[in-house]
Amino acid sequence: MPRYSVILAFLAAFGNFACQNPVDSNKPPAKNAAGKPVFTAVRGTAALDGSGSDTVWEKTNWLPLDQPWYGQLAPKTDVSGRYKLAWDENFLYILAEIEDDKAWEAHNQGNEGYWNDDCLLVLIDEDASGGNHEFSHNAFAYHIALDDQVVDIAPDSSFRLFNDHCFVRRIPKGNSSTWEIGVRIFDGNHFNPEGENVPKLLKQGKKIGFALAYKDNDGSLECENIIGNLEMPTTNDKRSWTDASTFGILTLE
C-alpha cells in the first residue's frame, strides 16, 4: 500500500475514534443572538443505573459546573462538578459527576429548608418562554436530594415531591458522586397539581429552557455555595428560583 494511503487510513481511523470519544471541553456555553447561553443534547437512551457507561455518553463532551450562583466560587477542593446531556422521546437525560468534600442533608425532603441541603438543582422550562415561576409551574425547579427525593414548590406554596418527574440513580464513592437522571418534560402551563398529567413526547429540534446547578452546604444553617452551568445576571440574587428568563436554551439534536 502506498505510504500516503496508509497515512489517510490512519487519519480516518483516528478521526472515527475521536468522534466516538470526545475530549472534555470545559468551556463556557456559547450564546445565541439574544445573548442567552445555548446547549445541545445528543439523541440516545441511558440505562439510569448510575454507572454512566452507556454508549450515548461516549458521543458528547463534558460541560462544566463552574459559575457562582450563590456565595463565593468555592475552591475545587470543596466542590466541583461537570455534566453531559442526552435525550430520547421519553426523557431528557443528565449525567453529572460531583466532587464534594462533605455530604450534608439536615432536612426532611418536602419540608421547609430542604433547599439548604446538598442537592442537584435541575431547572426546566418546557416551552422556553421564560418568566416568573416562583409559585407556578411555568417552569420547574427540581431539587434532587442525596436520597434521590425530588422537591419543588407548588402553586399553593406547599413543598411537594415530584419523584415521578425525575428518575434518579446516584452512586457515591468517597467524595465523588455520579448522578444519572431521566427527566420527564411536562407542559407546566397546563399542569394540574391535583390530577394526572401526561409528559411531552420529545422530538428533534425541540427547545427547552434549561439550567443546572449543585447546591453545597458543609454544615451551616443555610446553603453556602451554588455552582451552576451558566452565568447569572448577578450573584446571590437567587433569580433562578423565580425567573425562568435566566435559564439557557437547550436544543435536542
C-alpha cell at 59: 458521543
Per-residue pLDDT of the chain (253 residues; tens, 9 = 90+): 444 443 334 334 434 433 344 435 556 789 999 889 999 999 999 999 999 999 999 999 999 999 999 887 666 778 999 999 999 999 999 999 999 988 777 766 556 778 889 999 999 999 999 999 999 999 999 999 998 999 999 999 998 999 999 999 999 999 999 999 999 999 999 999 888 999 999 999 999 999 999 999 888 878 888 999 999 887 766 788 889 999 999 999 9
CA distance 29 to 149: 29
Which domain range does residue 105 map to? 3-252
Q: Distance between terminal CA atoms of the chain?
A: 39
Q: How many domains does the chain have?
A: 1
Q: Which of 237, 161, 219, 154 is nearest to 188 (CA)?
A: 154
This prediction has a pTM of 0.87
Q: Identify the sign of the CA torsion 126, 130, 131, 133.
A: positive
**Do residues 79 and 98 touch, judged by C-beta distance below 8 A?**
yes
CA distance 160 to 110: 5
> What CATH number does the domain containing 54 carry?
2.60.40.1190
